[in-house]
Structure 1
Amino acid sequence: MRPVTGYAAFEPRGQLRPFEFQRRDLRPDDVAVRVTHVGVCHTDLHAVEGLSTGAPPLVPGHEFTGVVSAVGPEVTALRVGDRVAVGNIVDSCGECGPCLAHRESYCVEFPQLTYGGVDRHDGTPTQGAYSTEYVARDAFVHALPDGLDAAAAAPLMCAGITTWSPIRRAGVGPGQTVGMVGAGGLGHLAVKFAKALGAEVVVFTTSPDKVDDARRLGADDVVLLRDGEAMAARAVSLDVVVDTASAAHDLSPLLRTLRLDGRLVLLGLPERLDVETMALLGRELTVSGSGGTDETREMLAFCAEHGITADVEVLPIAEVDTAFRRLAAGDVRWRFVLDVSA
């Protein structure tokens, strides 16, 4: 076994504390990664808040970068010392239709999650990357292209691929107008992707203080959702709307901005969504999941070509609770990343 140290939650809503545990010995197709940077996602916050009383310690972290520290004997694509990145899936059955199509997030046996999941081989719970080392199957460890900063690239492995995948499937490109709802960890990367793909981008937000931020990200227009006149001016003008908002909201005004056969992609998935039935006519509603290994590698190459990374604030991993508190309060532009070596 491989001893590691990390930060774990021991009770619901409790502070994360140092935790020593062990990773498995390498299997033939495994890669061990010395973690250097790990993103702080709302999923991490929710996992800690929802931890059951009496449950085993939970180490969060599912978007990270690092350096290969060891490889199994069957690994050929990666070598010790390579810079790499890993996301929220670290294994899958490899045999079902989605897996054979390299869309492993839809694995019929359910993919193995970076943390909060179950190892497909030995049934042990998976622990995340708020730790000094991680061990994953080689197919899910991606080479990090030269030129991408390791800290700023970490969120690409969750927020990045979550937005990249549906944007690409929607065929976003020159001549299209794309709406982005919410300028947060997901939304700010969606804006960068759509602009780099050649689309005109309109950001919708409820926060006047995010207008300037959205324009700095590259938005061609920013519309306040509560401004009825501005929303009416955007009626039937968009080809795609990517909704990253996690709070309950009404979809009807957004649907009215879409042209015939326009597409609304839901990524935030709040607990409740309201919609008027008539607003659905002539539109396509898509609930999208994250991408697979092929799309992840495509995204990383595109980011390297266009110089795209997340806008991050880096904190030492010992300040993880500060990151959690500020994330819960919405006090971040746009993603926290923990420096594991600090």
Structure 2
Amino acid sequence: MATDYKFEGWLGKDPESVKGNMVWGEFEPKKWEETDVDIQITHCGCCGSDLHTLSSGWGPTPYVCCVGHEIIGKAVRVGEKVKHVKLGDRVGVGAQALSCLEPDCPDLYPDGLGKSYGGYADYNRTNGHFVFPIPDGLDSADAAPMLCGGVTVYSPLKQNGCGPGKTVGIVGVGGLGHFGVLFAKALGADKVVGISRKAGKREEVLKLGGDQYIATDDDKDWAKKNIRSLDLIVSTISSEKMPLTDYLTLLKTGGTFIQVGAPDGGNLPPINAFTLIGNGIKVGGSAIGAPWEIKEMLQLAVDKKIKPMVEKRSLKDANKTVVDLAAGKARYRYVLVNEKHL
């Protein structure tokens, strides 16, 4: 099989790259192994995590970097040890590129095994365990942002009992949160409540299938009026200034609050112990999802005809897209399209 293609993409060379200063250039992928798959990229979703990585917001980034972890394209080289992917398959890669394969492994790419370069590029090389075929019935531009944004909310919803008989709140209606509304409804929750700061997103949440919307800046006494009304809350907010105590009062006795948004520095508002003790509530966190969860989520999206709100941008416009993403202009996910590979 031909392997004469070059690995080129948009490269961040320092924290200033997040301001639209990425440069196009060639990079060296991880050393080829027969457990790997090379992907000719057609689509890549843009995630808030890309901004944190480009800016070193979550810790020092090993520059030079090429971000993007919602990758879809065609398998153009398949290692002999990879049995579930065939040459020419439409495949995807999410936020995890390799791990020790133990449950809850924290490593996205363990030290000593090479550097993971992302999807703002022409080609990607990833260990085949984390590459999976994309089912028919899903548009690539719709499927791409599900590989991180979608599964980041799907996983905690599924693991914490979202389904018939449950009332679910999604805090922060954005790239992650709008997926939360879609998947909570698809999983059969009796009632799904979108929670965000401004009233302007109310109609969009209802169109996505939400049953109620709470605007925390605009709805007077929102916490008091909705006290103990939810079984489960998934919070996508990345801010240490969010009204966390008020969110927790929305939970029924024994309810669960799961944090998936990760602010720079990792700080969240303090939690009063009596808020937890008085209601017997649980607070936890969740990050991305396992490959099997991604496959399950994608099939649910096919079966329920889930249609996320995406805006396609040319890969050539990656710098402008990053700036717009940082400015909060996305409604609700940008997807970069590599036109020369379509």
When the two structures are superposed, what TM-score results if normalisation uses the length of structure 2? 0.89
Matched to 1:165, the amino acid is S
Task: Kindly indicate whether residue 242 of structure 2 is the aligned counterpart of residue 252 of structure 1.
Answer: no
- Looking at structure 1, the residues matched to 72 and 297 of structure 2 have their Cα atoms a distance apart, in angstroms, of 15
Q: CA deviation digits over 1:223-272, x for unaligned, max 9?
A: 11233433222111111011111122121111111111100011113333
Partner of 1:305: 303
Partner of 1:26: 32
Q: Which runs of 5+ in 1 are unaligned?
A: 99-105
Partner of 2:74: 67
What value does the CA root-mean-square deviation take over the aligned residues? 2.0
Partner of 1:196: 186
Are the counterparts in 1 of residues 120 and 318 from structure 2 also a CA contact under 8 Å? no
Partner of 1:263: 256
Go from structure 1 to structure 2 and tell me whether the alpha carbon gap of 1:305 and 1:9 turns closer, same or farther (over 3 Å shift). Answer: same
Q: CA deviation digits over 1:251-300, x for unaligned, max 9?
A: 11111111111000111133332333322121011111222122121111
Counting only pairs closer than 5 Å after superposition, residues 267-286 of structure 1 correspond to structure 2 as 267-270=260-263, 271-281=267-277, 282-286=280-284
Are the counterparts in 1 of residues 29 and 115 from structure 2 also a CA contact under 8 Å? no
What is the SS of the residue equivalent to 1:112?
coil
Task: Kindly indicate whether residue 232 of structure 2 is the aligned counterpart of residue 225 of structure 1.
Answer: no
When the two structures are superposed, what TM-score results if normalisation uses the length of structure 1? 0.89
| Pairing partner for 1:140 from 119, 130, 148 | 130
Matched to 1:151, the amino acid is A
Q: CA deviation digits over 1:58-102, x for unaligned, max 9?
A: 1111111111111111222111111111011111123x3x1xxxx
Q: Which runs of 5+ in 2 are unaligned?
A: none
- Looking at structure 2, the residues matched to 126 and 202 of structure 1 have their Cα atoms a distance apart, in angstroms, of 37
Are the counterparts in 2 of residues 65 and 86 from structure 1 also a CA contact under 8 Å? yes
Are the counterparts in 2 of residues 11 and 53 from structure 1 also a CA contact under 8 Å? no
Are the counterparts in 2 of residues 186 and 244 from structure 1 also a CA contact under 8 Å? yes
| Pairing partner for 1:6 from 6, 9, 12 | 9
Q: Tell me how far 1:310 sits from its aligned partner.
A: 2.9
Q: Tell me how far 1:321 sits from its aligned partner.
A: 1.2
| Pairing partner for 1:90 from 89, 97, 109 | 97
Go from structure 1 to structure 2 and tell me whether the alpha carbon gap of 1:287 and 1:67 turns closer, same or farther (over 3 Å shift). Answer: same
What is the SS of the residue equivalent to 2:283?
strand
Partner of 1:102: none
- Shifted more, 51-60 versus 292-301: the winner is 51-60
What is the SS of the residue equivalent to 1:91?
coil
Are the counterparts in 1 of residues 30 and 116 from structure 2 also a CA contact under 8 Å? no
Task: Kindly indicate whether residue 213 of structure 2 is the aligned counterpart of residue 207 of structure 1.
Answer: no
Q: CA deviation digits over 1:290-330, x for unaligned, max 9?
A: 22122121111111111224311111111111111111111
Q: CA deviation digits over 1:79-126, x for unaligned, max 9?
A: 1111111011111123x3x1xxxxxxx22xx4234xxx6452xxx322
Matched to 2:319, the amino acid is D
- Looking at structure 1, the residues matched to 30 and 177 of structure 2 have their Cα atoms a distance apart, in angstroms, of 36
Go from structure 1 to structure 2 and tell me whether the alpha carbon gap of 1:12 and 1:175 turns closer, same or farther (over 3 Å shift). Answer: same
Higher strand share: 1
- Shifted more, 226-235 versus 256-265: the winner is 226-235
- Looking at structure 2, the residues matched to 26 and 308 of structure 1 have their Cα atoms a distance apart, in angstroms, of 36
Q: Tell me how far 1:54 sits from its aligned partner.
A: 11
Are the counterparts in 2 of residues 118 and 126 from structure 1 also a CA contact under 8 Å? no
Q: Tell me how far 1:53 sits from its aligned partner.
A: 10
| Pairing partner for 2:323 from 300, 325, 329 | 325
Are the counterparts in 1 of residues 54 and 61 from structure 2 also a CA contact under 8 Å? no
Are the counterparts in 2 of residues 153 and 309 from structure 1 also a CA contact under 8 Å? no
Are the counterparts in 2 of residues 84 and 141 from structure 1 also a CA contact under 8 Å? yes
Q: Tell me how far 1:55 sits from its aligned partner.
A: 6.0
Partner of 2:65: 58
Partner of 1:186: 176
Go from structure 1 to structure 2 and tell me whether the alpha carbon gap of 1:45 and 1:197 turns closer, same or farther (over 3 Å shift). Answer: same
- Looking at structure 2, the residues matched to 206 and 159 of structure 1 have their Cα atoms a distance apart, in angstroms, of 20
Q: Tell me how far 1:23 sits from its aligned partner.
A: 2.7
- Looking at structure 1, the residues matched to 272 and 108 of structure 2 have their Cα atoms a distance apart, in angstroms, of 37
Are the counterparts in 1 of residues 45 and 68 from structure 2 also a CA contact under 8 Å? yes
